[in-house]
Amino acid sequence: MAVMQGRGADLRDQAAAVRRAVAGDRDAFEELINTYHRRIFAMVYSRITSRMDAEDITQEIFVRAFQGVKSLRDPELFKPWLYRIALNAVNDFLRKKRLRSIFTLFTREQDHDEVPDPTGSGSDYLEHKEFWARLKEFFSRLSPSEREAFRLRFLDGLCIREIAGVMEKNESTVKTHLYRAVEKFRRESDLSGLLKEEKA
């Protein structure tokens, strides 16, 4: 009971910070950055596996959030709103990366130097590379909605209601995507024992 009361107090404090940030209080927004920076960075890093790019994108996410926070009407929706900004920033980065790759294909004949691997190497890779390689292969067999619902639930730790806010879908649709992804995941014997499922 004490844990639940503490969590409720934290949520009330956060809602108060959001309200102050909406009113233009920079210190309140700094509080929100301190609360979410590590989690947003982890979300971005798990999708692009480049620490330097993840740091830049995370900074950009909070700049976008600061610029748009005054438009947020419900303080309790701050978390899914912030994660939606993060997801859009990651998708923007990946689209630009694909365009750069296409451009590289057209210019390689004019540049005989070796083209560096755009995915990075060494310290840029997450720990347990073999696991992440298998997980990436598994993700490639999911639909885009199944993949994002799965990632947001199990890698980013969001609840169903928050995922619905991030993906801008209703909760029943999110549950359907998540159920299908989890069923496929359970058939992956090499992976399924490494992920603890939590109740929605």
pLDDT of the residue at 101 = 56
CA atoms within 13 A on the CB side of 165: 17
**Regarding the domain delimited by 127-192, which CATH topology (the fold level of the hierarchy) does it fall under?**
Arc Repressor Mutant, subunit A (1.10.10)
pLDDT at 102: 47
**Tokens 């639940």 map to which residue?**
4
In 3D space, the residue among 19, 32, 86, 94 whose CA is nearest the CA of residue 59 turns out to be 86
The three-point CA angle 180-182-183 to 5° equals 65
CATH 1.10.1740.10 intervals, the chain: 1-125
Grouping H, G, I as helix, E, B as strand and the rest as coil, residue 74 is coil
User: Is 117 within 8 Å of 146 (Cβ atoms)?
Assistant: no
As a dihedral over the C-alpha atoms of residue 86, residue 91, residue 94, residue 95, rounded to 10 degrees, the angle is: -140
Nearest CA-CA partner of 186 in 163, 154, 148 = 154
pLDDT of residue 178: 93
H or E stretch at 81: helix 78-107
Question: What does the pLDDT look like over 27-59, one tens digit per residue?
Answer: 999 999 999 999 999 999 999 888 999 999 999
Residue 196: the pLDDT is 42
pLDDT at 187 (0 to 100): 83
Phi and psi torsions of 24, nearest 5°: 100, 10
Please identify every stretch of the chain with a pLDDT value under 70, giving residue numbers as ranges. 1-11, 98-129, 189-200
Give CATH 1.10.10.10 domain extents, the chain: 127-192
Specify the pLDDT at position 200: 38
pLDDT at residue 32, rounded to an integer = 94
Q: Are 161 and 147 in contact (CB under 8 A)?
A: no
pLDDT of residue 12: 76
Residue with tokens 């609360």: 35
The values of phi and psi at residue 141, to 5°, are -95, 0
Pick the CATH number of 1-125 from 3.60.10.10, 3.30.70.1450, 1.10.1740.10, 1.20.1630.10: 1.10.1740.10
